[in-house]
Structure 1
Amino acid sequence: MRKLIESTFVSLDGIIDDTRPSTASRAEPQHWGHPYWDDEHHGYVTNLSASADAMLLGRVTYEGFAEAWSAQDGPQAEAMNKMPKYVASRTLTETTWNATLIRGDVAEEVAKLKEQPGQNIIKWGTGELDRTLVEHGLVDEFHFWYFPVVVGAGKHLFEGAGFDTTHLKLAEVNRFGSGIVVHVYVPK
């Protein structure tokens, strides 16, 4: 069975994104994370991506990634652009960027994806979709990238997710020279 791996950038004060619609663009990970994106960061992303042959995305992450990646060139952009994507959304009626819209029960459809032959499925970002994934025990690994920055405002990790207390086991810690520390957690 394929693993579903979630990978999320987190500031030291637990911020994962701005609180759209706001003017706190400083809370967007591409702003506060960018100064720390170096060769170690790139290598980890490359290895994590290479372990997967599909992506699962919520609407917000999908739209942001589609805009950013479809306009880029190079080997990493080519890999991101050609990888099949599955998008969970209650509002989208169609997708582009090599993506399939998940129809019907998201938990059932994700479980079916995990049963198909192939490599891992990577889910970038944490958001509303996580409520369903965590409630149904569908995430096999969480990769929380803690960046050495305090943002001060924005949306917190799992804010509003609405699921019960969920215990995880620390499986691995990866430290980068830039100060990023990736904690890999698995269900307990």
Structure 2
Amino acid sequence: MVRTRPIEPPATPLTDGTVALRPRRESDIEAIAAASHDPEIRRWLDDEPMDVQARHGWLARGEEMWRSGKAAPLVIADAVTDEPVGSINLQFRSDAMATVAYGVFPQCRGRGIAPRAVRLLARWALFELRLERVILEADEGNAASIRVAEKRRFHRVGTRTEPAGDGGQRVLVVFALPESAEG
């Protein structure tokens, strides 16, 4: 059963003093669009890079995701400067479960941003939204995302196969974080 209730964005940014998760802003569009063309991001995501038309509807699509209850799209920002350093999204599969997806801008990688952002989002999902489970899926070849899941104490629960953007198949490693776990 897919979630159909609206979701309220956090009243204040979710932060640990180093990174902050906050709603999208118009000022984030160019950085997000540039990152959508990054070869490493393109390697793991099937989404098309943002063109001019996609940029125009970006904020409205994000607002609709919150209203529809389908997703909770947030920007990962530097907690001091508020500059965007990536994006993170909670995609609801039901009222009890969601999947986390994220990307860190190329110039910001290697600084521990993804594990921090995943921890903040998972804690919010489990303790504020009262989800029973948060899922993280990583392509079996994406060692960096697998390390993020392991650092955040997600438990490996299996694998699944899905169509790849090139017409072939890809294997995803599925991790889960139950409500009782500390992300």
Report if TM-score (shorter chain) is over 0.5.
no
State the TM-score, normalizing by the size of structure 1: 0.34
Q: Please give the TM-score of this superposition, normalised by the length of structure 2.
A: 0.35
Higher relative contact order (CA 8 A, sep 6+): 1
